[in-house]
Structure 1
Amino acid sequence: MFVGRTDELDTLKDALARAAAGEPQALLLGGEAGVGKTRLVEEFAAAACRRGAVVAVGGCVEIGADGLPFAPFSTALRALREALPEEFAAAGAGQEEELARLLPELGEATSSRHDEQGMARLFELTVRLLERVAAAHTVVLVLEDLHWADASTRHLLAYLFRTLRTGRLLVLASYRADDIHRRHPMRPLLAELDRLRTVRRLELARFTREEVARQIAGILATEPDPAQVDDIFERSDGNAFFVEELAVAACQGCCPGLPDSLRDLLLVRVEALPESAQRVARIVAEGGSTVEYRLIAAVAQLTEDDLIEALRAAVGANILTATTGGDGYRFRHSLVREAVADDLLPGERSRLNRRYAEAVETDPTLVPADARVMRLASYWYHAHDAARALPAVLDASVVARRRHAYTEQLRLLERAMELWDSAPDEVRAALRPVDYTDVYPPCGCDPATTPLRYLDLMAEAAVAGRFCGERERALKITKKALRLLQDEPDPLRAAWFWVQRSRLVQALARGDGWQELANAQDLVRGLPPSEVHADVLANVAGWSMLHRPGPEAFAAAERAVEYARMVGAREIELNARITLGCLMVDAGDVESGLAETARVMETALQEGVAHVAGRAHVNLPSELESVGRSREAVPILREGIAFARKYGLLDSEAWIWGNLSDSLYALGQWDEAAEAASGALGSAASAKPRGSGALRLAHIALARGDAAEAGRQLAISHAHYGTHDPMPQQLLPIARIAIGVAAEEGRILDARVELDRALAVGFPPGTQRYGWPLLLAAATTEADARALPVAADGRADVLDRLAQAARKLTTGAPVWDAYERWTRAELHRAHGTDTAAVWSDVVTDFECLDRPYDLARVRRRLAQALLEEAAGDDERDRATELLRLAGAVADHLGAHPLAEAVALLAQRARLTLTLPHARLRSRGGTPVPRQALDPAESLGLTNRERDVLRLVSTGRTNRQIAEELFISPKTASVHVSNILSKLGVAGRGEAAAVAHRLGLFPAEPLTAEARG
C-alpha cells in the first residue's frame, strides 16, 4: 500500500495539470536512500498515465564515469520514441544524425568537427525535440538517481531546466540527498537549479510513527503490535526501506541479534539465501546497475537450471528484481547492491570484472551495442589488466567524444594516461593517433603509421577539458606537457600546447593570454608552413584584432590565410579570413572587407562549418553597424540567431543578440533593443557575452533617464567582463556609459576620472566606433556643466585634451564623420562659441543617416542655438519645427531627458509645440505629470526653495545661503534637505546638475520676448 506523501503527490499532480495546460514544469525530488523516492515516482507515473500523459523513464548508471554518457536521457528518449513514434520522427526530422549521439538507433552519429559548441549544439537539439514532441501530448520525463549521473547528463539537465520554454512537458529528476557530500559534483548543479524560479524542489522526509505503523501493516497484512512498531520505528528512524527490511526480518524470525550497522542490516537477508543465490547476487552487484540475463549466465557458469533457481531465490527474497523489459536483473534497492559489492574481496572483484570482460569480448551480443565499449572499458580497468584496459579505455574515450560527452572523454583519457606506463611496449606500439585522437598536433609524421604517444593523449585530454569546462584540469595537463617537451624538443607540439594554454588562461580569468601566444609564435617563427603554424598565426591575428588592432594584426591574418591554404587547413583559413575582413573594414577598406566577410559566411554555410558560420553571423553585422549600416545588419543578425540556435552555438547566439541590440537602438527601436540585450544575458554560456548584454541594457536605461538602473547594469557588465582581459571594445563603451551615469547624477569630477582612464587606454586603429561616442559623451558633459562652479577648475585642460583626442581619432565612414562634427560642436558649446551655423552642419550630416535619436538630439541643439542668437520669426519658426520633430522622437522612444529638454526650451522661448507636454521625472526616473509651465513648480519647489536651489547651484554653503536670504543656517539646511528629497538626488552636486539640465536658472534670457 502507498503510505503518506499526500502533499508531495498533490504538488506533482498540480505540476502535471500546469504542464498539460502548456506551461512546462521542472521538479527535483530529493531524499535520503530508502526514503521512498522511487515509490512516489511510481505512484505519480501511474496517476499521470491515467490522465493520458506519456511517461518516459530513464535512470542513471551507477558506475558513473564508466557508464554510457547521457544514459538516463537515452533510455527516456527511447521510451518516448516507442510511445509516440510518428511524433518523435517528425520532431527530429533532419537532425537524426546529430541526435544519434543520444539515441544510436536513429542512425550513425555524424563525424562532424568536435568543438566547444558541439555539446551545446546537441543540448539545444534535444530540448527542441522534447518541446516539439510535447506540443500535442503531455509528456512526463522522469530521470532517476541523479547522484550517479555522469557529467554530460548533469550538463544536459541543467541546460534543459534553463532553456525549456514551451510544450506540455514535465521533467522530474530524483537524487539521493545523503550522497550529495560537499565535493559531490551534483552539489553545484543543485545550487544552480535552486536559483531558477522555474524549478521546484521537493525533499522527502522520513515517515512518522503513524506512517511506519501503516507501512508495517501493509507488509505483514495484519495490524502490528505497538511495541513492535516502536522498536522498528526507533531502529529505522522512519526510513521506509529500513522499515521494510526490519519488518520482514522480524517476520522471518531473524530479528534477535540483528546488528545495528547499516551494512550488516542490508546483508542479513542476502546471507540467508542459498549459496548459489548469494554467488549470483555478488556477480550481479559487480556487473552494473542492471545486468543482462545472458551475461550473468556467461559469468556465473552455472547450469541453466541452477542459475534459474538461484535467481528465483534472490527474486523471491526481494533482493533482485527483473528489469522492465524482462531481459535482465537488478537489485531491488541500490543500497543492498552497494553493501554486497563492498563485501567483495579485492581479488574477487578483479576476477569478476575479468570474467565479465572476457564474456563480452567472446560474445559481444551479451550487452546492448551502444553500451558495449563503455562496459568493456570499465570491466578491464577494474580487472587491473593494463594490457587489455588501455585500448579498451581509449576506445571508450572515442565513443564519448562522438557523443560530445567531453567530461567522460576527459575522465577516460586520464585513466588511459594512468595505465600508460603499466601497459606493455608492444601494446602501446600498436596504438595509432588516427584511431584515438582528434586534435593531435601534426609532427611531420603519418598518424596512420606512427605509434600513439603519451603527448597525443595529453593533447586530446587538454582539448576535452576545455570543451567540457574542466579548465583547471586541462591547464594542469598543458603545463605537464610543456615540461615534457622541454626534455623532448618539438616546436610544433609545444606551440600547439601554448595556444591551448592561452585559451585556458583567458577562460579562467588568469590573464589575457598574449604571453602564451607570443611563446607559440616564437616557436614556429622560421619553420615551414604547417597547420599548427597557420593556427598560431590565426590566433595571434584574432587576439590582436580584439586587443591591439593595427598593421601587425593585419599581417598575421594575411599570413594565416596564406599558410592555411598551402597546407589545406580549410577551417583555419576561413576563420583567418573573417579576421582579415574585419581588420580591412576597421582600416577603412570598408567595401572590400565587408565583401570578404560575406563570402566567408556563404562558404561556411555551404561547407557546413557551423562554428565559422556562427562567427561570421556575429562579425559581419557588427562591421556593418560599425560603419552606420544598421538596417543592413538587422536581417543578417536575425538569420544568425536562428542559425546559432539550430546548431546550439550559445555564445555566438548571445553575441548576435548583443549586436542586434546595438543596431535596433541606432534605428530607434528601443523596446526591441532591450529585449535583444536581455536575450544576450539569457542565452550566453560564457561571462563576456552576458557582460555585453548588461552593457546594452545600461545604455538604453541611461538614454531613458534611469541612471540608477544604468549604474546597476554597468556594475553587472563590469563583473562579467572582469579585469583580466581588457579589450577596447569593452573598456571604451563601459567608460562612455560610466561618464553618462556620472553626468546624470551630477558627479562631474567622477565623469572626468572615467575620461582620464579612457584617454590613458587610447584609441587603437579601428576603434573609432567606440571612441567617438565616448568623446561625444565627455564633451556633452563638459558643455552641460559649463555654468557649474564645481566644474570650473580644470575645465580648460579637459577640453584641450578632448580636442587633441578628436584630432587623432579617425573617421572613415559617414556616421563617424557626423560624430566628429557633433563632438566638435559640443566642444564649441563648452567654450560658449557654438553657433546655429555649427549645429546646422551637424543636423545636415545626421539627416543623411538612419539614426533618429541622434538626429533628434542635434535638432534640439540647433533649435537652442537659433533661439539664443535673438532670431527673427523665420528662425523661431524653424526652431519650433526642430523641437517638434525632436520631441516626437523623444516621446516615442521614452527618452525622458531629451523630452524634458525639448519641453523646457520651448517653455523658456514661449514656443507652442503641437505635442503633448513632456513629463518630468521624479525620484528614480518615474515620469510625473506636468502641473505648470514652470519646471520648478512641476518639481514641487516653493519660491523659497527655488531661491535656495539657485544659490546651491552656484556653490554656496548653508551659511552663505542664510546670509544672502536673511534666514538662519538651520533653516537653510532644512530647505536644502527638502530640495534634495523633491529632486530625488543624494547631494548638492547632483541637485545643481539637475537644476542646470532643466534650465531652471538660465544665465541669460533667450530672447527679448522671453525677457518680457
Structure 2
Amino acid sequence: MDLLERDAVLQDLAGHLQAAVSGPGRLALVRGEAGVGKTAVVQRLAQVADPHIRVLIGACDPLATPRPLGPLLDLAPRLGPAVRTALTDTSRSDEVFDCLLADLSTYPSLLVVEDVHWADEATMDLLRYLARRLPNVPALVLATYRDDEIGRTHDLTSLLGTLAGYSWVYRHDLAPLSRRAVARLATGHAVDAEHLYRVSAGNPFIVTEILAAPAEPIPATVREAVAGRLAGLSTEARMVVDVLAVLGLRVSLPLLAGVLPNSEGALDEAVACGIVRTDGQVSEFRHELTRLAVLEAVPAAHRLRVHRQVLAAMRSGPVATDDLALLADHAEGAGDPKAVLEYAPAAALHAAALGAYREAAAQYARALEYADLLPPGQQAALLEGHSQACLLSSRLDEGIASLRTAVGLRRALGDRLREGEDMRWLSCWLWPTGRTDEAGQTGLDAVRVLEELAPSRELARAYLNLCQLACYEHEGTAVTAAHAQNAIALGERFGDAGVLVQARFHTAAARMLSEGSGWEDCEQAVSSAMAQDLPVDAGFMALIMCWLAALQRDTARTTAAVSRAEAYCLDRDLLTYLLCTRAWGSWGLLNRGLWREAADASQKVRSHPGAPPVVRALALTVMGLVRARQGKSQVWPLLEEAATLVDSNCLLDTGLGWEARVEATWLAGGHELVRAEAERCLASLAGRTHPWLSGPLACWIRRAGGEPPQVPAAGPYALELAGDWAGAAAQWDSLGCPYDAALARLAGDPPALREALAAFEALGARPAVARTRTLMRARGVRPVRRGPRAATRANPYGLTNREMDVLKLLNEGLSDAEISARLYISPKTAGHHVGAVLSKLGVHTRHEAARKLHHPGHG
C-alpha cells in the first residue's frame, strides 16, 4: 500500500541511514499526532534499508508502570551476547548502555525506539547516553513520539531539550494528509471525500477506519481508541472534555469558563491527553470524529443542561453573525424550537452568502424539522432556501423534493409569482437528474404561469431557462436566440446581470454547436460573469464550456476549460458543478488517448455519493468505452446502467452515450447492429441540428459498410463522409485525438493503414488492432505482425523493442520531434509511442517513465 505524502520524510530518513552507517552516526526524531502514520513510515524505512544493515525495532508500552528498558528487552534476541547478559544479570543501567554502544559499534544498524512518549526513565536515559556518543557509532537511532501528548512537565520534554544542542539530531514532522490525498484514498468508496477530510482532519488512521466501515457513523475502532485515551483522565478533566464535545469543535475559552468555572488545570490535563488542543483563546478537538465519539458517550441529560446554559449565555448579549450557526446548534440541543426557527434560517442565509452551500443546506434542514410551527408562506420560504442550497451542494433529490413541496404551497396560497419561480428552478434542476422531458414541460409551465402576470425578473429567468434547454437539446440557433432575446429584454429592464450574460452565452453556445463559431463569445461571457462576481452563473457557464469543448473533441480547449472550472467551483463550494466539470474532464482524457486516467477520473466521479444522474451516466459511459476499446469484459453492464439513469433524449443530448453504444457494437463485430443502432439514434435527432452528434453516427454507418444518410456533420466527420480520410485524420491530429485519427485512416492507403495499426497498438486498443489487421490482410497490405514479439512478452512492462527505444530517448530528455528524428519516424507516431510507454508503465510524466528505466518495479 502506498504511503501518501510521506516520500519526503522517507527520503530524508533513508539519507540519514545511509550517512549514519558510513559514519558519523545520527539520531532522527519523528513526531506527529496519534494515528498519523509514524509506525508505517518506520516499517517502510526498514523495508527499503540495505540488507547489510541490521534493523532493530523496539517500542515503549502505555503501561501504568512501564518496564525499565522495555524496548531493549524486546530486542534482546537480536542483540549481542554481552547486551543480553547485561540485561539479565545486572541492575546497573550504565553497564547495559556501555554494552549496547559496543554492540552498535560492531554492525551498521538502524535502531528504532517507537512511542517514546510512553518511555520509562531508564529508556529516556539510554537515549540521552546514545545521542551524545552517536558520532562514533555506525548507526541511525530513530525515535518516534506523539507530540500531541507531551506538555511542559512531561519527561520527554526534558529529553528533547537536551537533544536540542546536538547537530547530528534531526527532527521530522508527519503532517495529516491533504484533501487531495484523502480523496485519493476515498477513490472507489461510496463516501464524500470532502466530508471524510472534514471529520478526520486528514488523520490516516481515522480515514482508513471510516473507509473500512463506511456504514458506521463512528467506527468501533475509533470509538475504542478515544475511550482508551480518556480512561486515564481525572474526573475534572473528563468533565472538561465532555463539555467541549457538547459545545462544538471550536470553543472560546471564555465560553468554557462560563460553563465550567476554574477549569484551567483540568483543561491542561485534557490537552496533555492529546484529545483537544488550545490555540490562543480557542480550544478545539483535533478531529471532528473524535468529538462525535466523545459526545456519543455524554449522558443526554447532561447534554441538554449544557446546551441550555450556553444558549442562555449567548443570547444574553449582542449576537454576532458568525455565532448564528452555533446558536442554532445549541437551540436544537436545548430542545427549543422557537430558537431553532430564529437562528437556523439566519445561519443558513449567512452560510449561503459565503458560498458554504452544504452548511446552508444543513441549517435549512434543521429549521424544516420545526416548520409545521410556521405559517405556509414561511414554510415555503424555508423549502425554497433549502432546495437551492441542496442543489448547489449536489443533494439533488432533497432539493427537488423541497421544490415540489414549495410549488404546492405557493399554489395553495395563490402566490403565482413564487409558484412560477419555483417551477422554473424545478425545471433547471430536473435536467441534471436526467429527466429532460419533465424539465422541458415544467419550464414551459413556468413561463405560462409567469406570462399571466406583469413582466418580472422571474419571467426573465424563466425565458433564460427555455433558452438553456433549447441549447442543450440542440433545437437550433433560431429557437435558442428567440428565447434569449425575451430574456435579455426583461433582464435589461430589471437589471439582472446574470440573465444578460447567460442569455448571450447560450446564444453563442447554440451557434457553436450548430455552425462551429461562437467560442470566443462564450469565453467573453464567462469572463464577464467572473468579473461581475456572479459565482453561480460563472461556475455554471464554466462547466458548460467543458462540455462544449469535449463534445467538439478539442482536447486543448477541454483541458484548459476543465482546469479553470474545477478551480473556480472548488473555491466557491459549487459541488454539483464541480462533479459535472470532472465528468466532462474524463471525456477529454478519453479523447486524448489517456484511457487509464480517463477510467480513474470517471470512477472517482461515479463513486461520489453526490454525483447527479447525468454525471454518473457520463462517467459510466467513459468507463464502458475504455473497456470496449481495450477489449475487456463488462462493457455493456456499464453502458446499460448509464442508459437507465437518464431519459433517452438526455443520453443523446450529452453527446457520448449513443455514440459509445454504436462504437462498442462495432468493436464487437456486429456490422448490421451498428447500422441499426446508429440509424435509430439519427431518427431521434430528426428536427434538430447538431453536426457533432449526427456526424459521428453517420461515420459509424459508413465504417460498418452501410450508405450513410445526408446529415449535418462537423469538421473531421464531414471530411470522412466525403471520402477525404487524409483531411479527416489531419484534423483529428490537430485536435489531439489519436484514436479518432486512426479510425479515419482505416479508409486510407497502405501507409495510412500501417500508421493506424501503430496508433492502435500504442493505445492498447486490442479490438481495433485486430480489425485493422483483418482489413490489411483483405487489402493485401503486408507485412502484418502477429501478436507481440518474444522481446515484448519478455519485457516486464510489455514494451516492444521500439517502445524501449523511445523510453531510452525519454531518459535523455528528448521531445517528440527529437525522438522522431532520431528514430526516423513521424512526430505523430513518436507521440503515439510516448503515450503507449506512459500508459504501459502506469505513469503520468516522462520523468517518471525515465525512473522506471533505472528502477524497474519501483515508482
TM-score normalised by length of structure 1: 0.50
Distance 1:596 1:20, change over 3 A: farther
User: Aligned pair 1:394/2:321, yes or no?
Assistant: no
CA contact under 8 A between 2:624 and 2:636: conserved in structure 1? Answer: yes
- In the alignment, which residue of structure 2 is the partner of 1:561? 488
CA contact under 8 A between 2:463 and 2:487: conserved in structure 1? Answer: yes
CA distance in 2, matches of 1:371, 1:821: 65
- In the alignment, which residue of structure 1 is the partner of 2:405? 480
TM-score normalised by length of structure 2: 0.58
Q: CA deviation at 1:358?
A: 3.7
SS of residue paired to 1:549: coil
Q: Aligned AA for 1:361?
A: R
Q: CA deviation at 1:674?
A: 5.0
- In the alignment, which residue of structure 2 is the partner of 1:573? 500
Residue of structure 1 aligned with 2:446, choices 515, 520, 529:
520
Q: Aligned AA for 1:532?
A: E
Map 1:117-136 to 2 at 5 A. Answer: none
- In the alignment, which residue of structure 2 is the partner of 1:13? 38
Q: CA deviation at 1:190?
A: 1.4
- In the alignment, which residue of structure 2 is the partner of 1:536? 462
Q: CA deviation at 1:691?
A: 3.5
CA contact under 8 A between 1:586 and 1:765: conserved in structure 2? Answer: no
Distance 1:312 1:569, change over 3 A: closer
Q: CA deviation at 1:523?
A: 0.9
Q: Aligned AA for 1:492?
A: L
Q: CA deviation at 1:288?
A: 6.8
Q: CA deviation at 1:359?
A: 2.9
CA contact under 8 A between 2:37 and 2:204: conserved in structure 1? Answer: no
Distance 1:846 1:453, change over 3 A: same
Q: Aligned AA for 2:408?
A: R
CA distance in 1, matches of 2:551, 2:292: 60
SS of residue paired to 2:632: helix
- In the alignment, which residue of structure 2 is the partner of 1:545? 471
Q: CA deviation at 1:771?
A: 1.8
Distance 1:312 1:738, change over 3 A: closer
User: Aligned pair 1:601/2:526, yes or no?
Assistant: yes
SS of residue paired to 2:785: coil
Q: CA deviation at 1:557?
A: 2.8
Q: 1:812-839 deviations in whole A, cap 9, x for unaligned?
A: x5434314324xxxxxxxxxxxxxxxxx
Distance 1:140 1:757, change over 3 A: same
Distance 1:577 1:642, change over 3 A: same
Q: 1:74-128 deviations in whole A, cap 9, x for unaligned?
A: xxxxxxxxxxxxxxxxxxxxxxxxxxxxxxxxxxxxxxxxxxxxxxxxxxxxxxx
Q: CA deviation at 1:853?
A: 5.5
Q: Aligned AA for 1:462?
A: S
CA contact under 8 A between 2:695 and 2:718: conserved in structure 1? Answer: no
CA distance in 2, matches of 1:333, 1:657: 33
Map 1:789-938 to 2 at 5 A. Answer: 803=708, 806-807=709-710, 809-811=711-713, 813-822=714-723, 841-843=724-726, 850=733, 857=743, 860-863=746-749, 880-895=750-765, 917-920=784-787
CA contact under 8 A between 1:56 and 1:139: conserved in structure 2? Answer: no
CA distance in 1, matches of 2:346, 2:657: 49
Q: CA deviation at 1:493?
A: 0.5
CA distance in 2, matches of 1:858, 1:716: 27
- In the alignment, which residue of structure 1 is the partner of 2:214? 190
SS of residue paired to 2:206: strand
CA contact under 8 A between 1:695 and 1:713: conserved in structure 2? Answer: no
Q: CA deviation at 1:536?
A: 1.6
Distance 1:494 1:17, change over 3 A: farther
CA distance in 1, matches of 2:199, 2:676: 40
- In the alignment, which residue of structure 1 is the partner of 2:809? none
CA contact under 8 A between 2:621 and 2:642: conserved in structure 1? Answer: no
Fraction of identical pairs, as percent: 17
Q: Aligned AA for 1:722?
A: T
CA distance in 2, matches of 1:411, 1:56: 32
Q: Aligned AA for 1:499?
A: R
User: Aligned pair 1:675/2:576, yes or no?
Assistant: no
Residue of structure 2 aligned with 1:779, choices 696, 699, 702:
702
Aligned residues: 627
SS of residue paired to 1:203: helix
- In the alignment, which residue of structure 2 is the partner of 1:586? 513
CA distance in 2, matches of 1:361, 1:614: 38
CA distance in 1, matches of 2:44, 2:333: 44
> Gaps (5+ residues) in structure 1?
1-7, 24-35, 37-42, 58-135, 144-153, 178-185, 195-200, 208-238, 249-268, 271-276, 301-306, 429-451, 784-798, 823-840, 864-879, 930-1012
CA contact under 8 A between 1:466 and 1:474: conserved in structure 2? Answer: yes
- In the alignment, which residue of structure 2 is the partner of 1:941? none
Distance 1:46 1:16, change over 3 A: farther
Map 1:180-579 to 2 at 5 A. Answer: 190-191=214-215, 203=221, 295=255, 325=278, 341-343=299-301, 356-362=310-316, 372-380=323-331, 390-402=341-353, 404-416=355-367, 453-503=378-428, 505-506=430-431, 512-547=438-473, 549-550=475-476, 551-579=478-506
Instruction: Give the number of the structure whose alpha-carbon radius of gyration is greater.
Output: 1
Q: Aligned AA for 1:767?
A: H
Distance 1:927 1:691, change over 3 A: farther
CA distance in 1, matches of 2:457, 2:664: 48
Distance 1:174 1:688, change over 3 A: closer
Distance 1:642 1:156, change over 3 A: closer
Q: Aligned AA for 2:221?
A: E
Q: 1:14-41 deviations in whole A, cap 9, x for unaligned?
A: 33548999x9xxxxxxxxxxxx9xxxxx
SS of residue paired to 1:190: coil
CA distance in 2, matches of 1:815, 1:488: 56
CA contact under 8 A between 2:662 and 2:674: conserved in structure 1? Answer: yes
Q: CA deviation at 1:601?
A: 2.6
- In the alignment, which residue of structure 1 is the partner of 2:175? 139
CA contact under 8 A between 1:55 and 1:139: conserved in structure 2? Answer: no
Q: Aligned AA for 1:771?
A: S
SS of residue paired to 2:204: strand
Map 1:604-753 to 2 at 5 A. Answer: 604-620=529-545, 623=548, 635-636=560-561, 669-670=592-593, 672=594, 674-676=596-598, 678-683=600-605, 686=611, 687-699=613-625, 702=628, 704=629, 706-709=630-633, 712-720=634-642, 722-726=644-648, 727=650, 729=652, 733-748=656-671, 750-751=673-674
Distance 1:385 1:18, change over 3 A: same
Q: CA deviation at 1:532?
A: 1.6
- In the alignment, which residue of structure 2 is the partner of 1:253? none
SS of residue paired to 1:513: helix
- In the alignment, which residue of structure 2 is the partner of 1:171? 204
CA distance in 1, matches of 2:316, 2:522: 55
> Gaps (5+ residues) in structure 2?
1-32, 49-63, 65-113, 120-141, 150-171, 180-190, 799-859
Residue of structure 2 aligned with 1:761, choices 684, 693, 696:
684
Q: CA deviation at 1:522?
A: 1.5
Q: CA deviation at 1:468?
A: 3.9
CA distance in 2, matches of 1:641, 1:285: 35
CA distance in 1, matches of 2:245, 2:732: 74
Distance 1:818 1:44, change over 3 A: farther
CA contact under 8 A between 2:443 and 2:465: conserved in structure 1? Answer: yes
CA contact under 8 A between 1:695 and 1:714: conserved in structure 2? Answer: no
Q: Aligned AA for 2:499?
A: I
Report the aligned-residue RMSD. Answer: 5.9
Q: Aligned AA for 2:786?
A: R
